[in-house]
Amino acid sequence: MRRLLLCGLFFISQSVFSGEIAQLYEHGVFDTRWGNSMEEVKAVFPAGKREAYKEVVLYVVRDGRPLFNVERKRNAFITFGFDPAQRLNSVAVEFQVNDYNELLHNLDRQFGEHITLSDDSMAKIVTWPNDKGVELSLTMSRAGFFTQEIKTSVNIIYTGLN
């Protein structure tokens, strides 16, 4: 009986958070819409810079707006990612490395318990369940192969584009 009650409470608590991520991000983020072209994103953020790494195309802007009740540096990066058809399908928001724990706490409080994908000396990666095609993750990892710089970012990926 006790186990049944605990299972019931678990499922009730999960439904409280269900849909929260999609409710916020199923159409887009930061006044952009999933599927926008780079030109459409540029119209919202005209001072950005296009970057390309083989087939991966990014549009990087400096924008320090707070997110998830965490202040960000005024010149912090937001990186918009595009799929092979050049449609917006992801956003990575840069934070200070020491913001990780506060972000984790705030995201858990808002979206429910996270799932740990990696927690070692190379990277800390947590995610929340896919919600109507929207995936949310928090990472703290090295900025590149040949650097000691560590970055924290919140990543929002939309998998609902056909």
What digits encode the pLDDT tens for the residues 5-59? 333 333 333 434 446 999 999 999 999 999 999 999 999 999 999 999 888 899 9
Beta strands in the chain (DSSP E): 28-29, 32-33, 49-53, 56-62, 77-82, 88-95, 115-119, 123-131, 134-142, 150-158
Residue 120 banded pLDDT, cuts 50, 70, 90: confident
The Cα 60–Cα 53 span in angstroms is 13
Any idea which residue has 């939309």 for tokens?
158
pTM equals 0.84
| Model pLDDT, residue 55 | 84
> How many residues would you count in the chain?
162
Residue 70 banded pLDDT, cuts 50, 70, 90: very high
Domain locations along the chain: 2-158
Class of residue 121 by CB neighbours under 10 A (exposed 0-12, middle 13-18, buried 19+) = exposed
Percent of the chain with pLDDT over 70: 83
| Model pLDDT, residue 5 | 30
| Model pLDDT, residue 59 | 98
